[in-house]
Structure 1
Amino acid sequence: MTLPQDEQQSLPSPPSFPPAPWRMSGRMWMGLFPVPRLPPVPGGLSVVLPRHLLVAAIRYLDGDLRYNEFVIASAVRSGFRVGAFIHHIWVDNAISQEGGRHIWGLDKQLANFQWTDQQVRITSDQGLRVTMAAHPGRRATLPLLMPLPAFAPRRGQLTYALAPVRLHAGPTQLSLTDWPAALPTLSRTTTRIALQSPRFRVAVPAPHPVNDR
């Protein structure tokens, strides 16, 4: 049966992004940077580390999607749940942007990523200019299994997702340069509270409302 032309045009187009969970693998740098003050977080959340921002650069090299990501977040809690609240997030993949907005309520912005072995530069047409450099320690990476919890406001409701991560990780030193004034002010542009993971796997599930038990 063929639908009339006007009915065909009224049908919603299927999403181009894969359904959750997104299963991916890759590598990442992640560190806590000191700040004089944090950006505000939504009602229902309280800050756990009031003077530190979590900053991460991630390369998803295999899995449901392949893309780069740069994240600025705070450590927060709601009741007994602890996780990250993402203030800013950039990706270089429009499908990831669409899926992040529709599934998790994350306002992903598009940017360009230029990687070398020890540095990534993130730029956008909206004036973003950030460089993150890593200085790996001499100790070998160790296998770890850790949760990656996150909160996000989705359709006016605070949601929570808990992603299990398997990774090999070791200590590193991270530095940030070309940090635009529009981003949260940093007290210091280097940190040793950081890790680098040359290999990780994650499965990011769909979120659920925080008040669900």
Structure 2
Amino acid sequence: MAYPPEPWSLRGTMHVSVWVVPRSVVPPLPAGLRGAVRVVRLGGQAVVGTAWVDYQPGGDMSYRELLAATLTRSGARPRVTISHIWVDSPDSRDGGRELWGIPKDLADLTVTDVAATAETRSGPIASSAIRAGRLLPLRLPVAFRVAQDLAGAAKVTPVRSTARYGTARVAWDVAADGPLAFLSGRRPLLSMVATDFRMRFGDPARRPAADPATA
């Protein structure tokens, strides 16, 4: 196992966009989540989040990421379900799939403070021009839970983070024939940046106990 056990301690910068799109275009939930969560509906619309992430040195792993996720719910409790995600680290891909059922694939990614791109051998996925705005003066906490299909059953994973948040303008160019085609030609409702985030992804109770012989 080349990836660390959960929880992963991660840090870096993230540019997030929120989209409101017709429910009919949102990717269907995997079989293991049907009955466990439902897509949140706003009339005939659904909420989708996309993010460019630069996980930087200082955390358990360092890599780049592009993801798309749908806002779901378990009863009245909100959840986030990741439908598409690419990373440029095989260890992150394997850990995400095996620990939490996150459907990570590999891609060539560049993520900076002003631009981001993602493509595979099949072609481009998306690119963005990024312009950051004003940051809030304080670090703020955020906590949520990710619901995924792991081996045919629902897997709910806690996520906690703190960051300095700010406004941002993220102009998306999504490939019309790519895996995120349901967002092609659309504009996000809003975008934001999370700088110097510190994230704990996973359940601390699931970290293996230290071996007394090596402790």
User: Same-fold call, TM > 0.5?
Assistant: yes
When the two structures are aligned, how many residues end up with a matched partner?
194
Aligned residues of 1:163 and 1:205 also touching (Cα < 8 A) = yes
Report the structure number with the largest CA radius of gyration: 1
Structure 1 position 28, deviation (Å): 0.3
CA distance in 2, matches of 1:115, 1:59: 6
Structure 1 position 31, deviation (Å): 1.2
Aligned residues of 1:160 and 1:207 also touching (Cα < 8 A) = no
Candidates 193, 196, 199, aligned match of 1:196: 193
Aligned residues of 2:13 and 2:195 also touching (Cα < 8 A) = yes
Describe the superposition over 1:136-165 as per-residue Cα deviations: whole angstroms up to 9, x where unpaired: 224545411010321000011111111111
SS at match of 2:183: coil
TM-score after normalising by structure 1? 0.83
Aligned residues of 1:167 and 1:200 also touching (Cα < 8 A) = yes
Aligned residues of 1:173 and 1:192 also touching (Cα < 8 A) = no
Aligned residues of 1:77 and 1:83 also touching (Cα < 8 A) = yes
**Alpha carbon RMSD of aligned pairs, Å?**
2.1
SS at match of 2:103: coil
Cα 1:129–1:183, aligned 2, differ >3 Å: closer, same or farther? closer
Aligned residues of 1:103 and 1:206 also touching (Cα < 8 A) = no
Candidates 23, 29, 43, aligned match of 2:34: 43
CA distance in 2, matches of 1:115, 1:149: 25
Q: Quote the residue 2:208 is aligned against.
A: none
Q: Quote the residue 1:10 is aligned against.
A: none
CA distance in 2, matches of 1:151, 1:184: 23
117-126 or 89-98, larger mean C-alpha shift: 117-126
Structure 1 unaligned regions, length at least 5 = 1-14, 209-213
Describe the superposition over 1:8-37 as per-residue Cα deviations: whole angstroms up to 9, x where unpaired: xxxxxxx11110000011000001123233
Structure 1 position 189, deviation (Å): 3.5
CA distance in 2, matches of 1:91, 1:171: 25
Q: Quote the residue 2:16 is aligned against.
A: 30
Question: Matched residues, percent identical?
Answer: 28
Structure 1 position 206, deviation (Å): 4.2
Q: Which amino acid aligns with 2:54?
A: R
